[in-house]
Amino acid sequence: MNSGDTAFMLISAALVFFMTPGLAFFYGGLVRRKNVVNTMMACVAMMGLAIVMWTLFGYSLAFGGNHGGVIGDLRWFGLNGVGMDVGPYADNIPHLVFCAFQMMFAVITPALLTGALVGRMRFKALFLFVTLWSIVVYYPLAHMVWGEGGFLASIGSIDFAGGNVVHISSGVSALVMAIILGRRRGYEHTVYRVHNIPFVVLGATMLWFGWFGFNAGSALAADGLAAHAFMTSGIASATAMLVWMLLDVIKDKHPTLVGASTGLVIGLVAITPGAGFVPMWASFIIGGLVSPICYFGVAFIKKKLKIDDALDAFGCHGLGGLWGGIATGIFGMTSINDVAQWNGLAFGETRLFVAQLMGIVVTIAVAVVGTLICAGIVSLITPLRVSERDEQIGLDITQHGENAYPSFNGLDQ
């Protein structure tokens, strides 16, 4: 056991936890004033719900034992047997530290998908949906990718810090739920303005700060691999931000602060699965290409498909995660991290690329089927969508009895 690694991992876990409040500010700044409290509450509630579920049974289902490469069991229910000694996943840190680090991923993942649903989903329904979704989608995917005997790991698919487990799963589920709920009323005739740009920037930079723990911490040690993941993350994010700014200039003749904030976030999304597998130069390519992929992908989803992915959860996290997983299959190198069994397509080998595609297909299938199951169960208990009157008034008042700006008397209610 190594005290330096333990300290590093505890700090990384705290950084990942900090990302969820950052997401609350990021999402909260993007919505209309009448839905700010509801949007932020969706993220804050996950901080309580996910931690309680994880410590009771989530960690055990994701990492305890193995059944068919798909799910664990309840051997560590209530963290029984998870203590201060080393565990099966790292021999340099206490088992509890590994559990705590992974817990923070379970917190932010369901919070990500809420961005597609703002302004129209009952909070009760959302709470129940996320509870079921964590069990049906997140825990099995975490086991398949990172758990002992996990199916996706066994076929050679790699995911350093959550491209499949976190971003593709939440992004695809967000898209499915956006389709199920339908568009916000008056969607085609209403201009949805960003109500608080400083909130957006605050949230995006909090996410960037926390993401260094998210990716570097996934090395599970304060070593060179952590430093490598730290740098690839910074490079990809910065590159994506600059490219998004350029796209704004080409399209609208000026860069935007919201665009720059969005760009830096999707750069982090794209590099997440390959942060500890791809060479430094590849992070420029990964970050540089994810911006046009998401920039035009968002436009296609909203304008052509007419899907109301309110805050572009799929357009950014889903598409960004898909590109990141594919890019890992192109640029991954065994010499950087021998968890990768083969080199990527760019180095003349095909097996890693094929394994990545298989992993992505399985992740999408689990997310789609799991989301449909969870939404179907919740709809039997409570309506998924608020009434037309509640939607017009705003979910802050109707769902929580609170108003983010009680003195505001403007038109954007």
Element of type H or E holding 189: none
pLDDT value at residue 305: 87
Alpha carbons within 13 A on the beta-carbon side of 209: 16
CA 241 to chain CA mean position, Å:
18
Q: Where are the domains of the chain?
A: 3-400
Tokens of 33: 């004033």
Q: What is the pLDDT of residue 99?
A: 97
Question: Cβ neighbours of residue 99 under 8 Å, at least 6 residues apart?
Answer: 54, 59, 63, 79, 82, 87
Contact of 32 with 184, CB cutoff 8 Å: no
Mapped onto helix, strand or coil, the DSSP state of residue 401 is: coil
Predicted pLDDT of residue 242 = 98
d(CA 102, CA 220): 11
Q: Per residue in 114-154, pLDDT tens?
A: 999 999 999 999 999 999 999 999 999 999 999 999 999 99
Quote the radius of gyration of the chain (alpha carbons, Å). 20
Mean pLDDT by 10 residues, the chain (413 residues): 96 97 96 94 96 97 95 96 93 96 97 94 96 97 96 96 94 95 80 88 97 97 97 98 96 94 97 97 97 93 86 92 96 96 96 97 97 97 94 93 76 50
pLDDT score of 304: 85
Q: Please state, in angstroms and rounded to a whole number, the distance separating the CA atoms of residues 70 and 368.
A: 16
Residue 409 pLDDT: 55
CA-to-CA distance for 318 and 178, rounded, in angstroms? 13
The answer to whether 47 touches 115, Cβ cutoff 8 Å, is no
Q: What is the pLDDT of residue 115?
A: 92
The per-residue pLDDT for 408 is 59
Q: Name the CATH topology of 3-400.
A: Ammonium transporter fold (1.10.3430)
Tell me if the pTM is above 0.85: yes
Read off the DSSP letter of residue 86.
Answer: E
pLDDT of residue 26: 96
- Give residue 229's pLDDT: 97
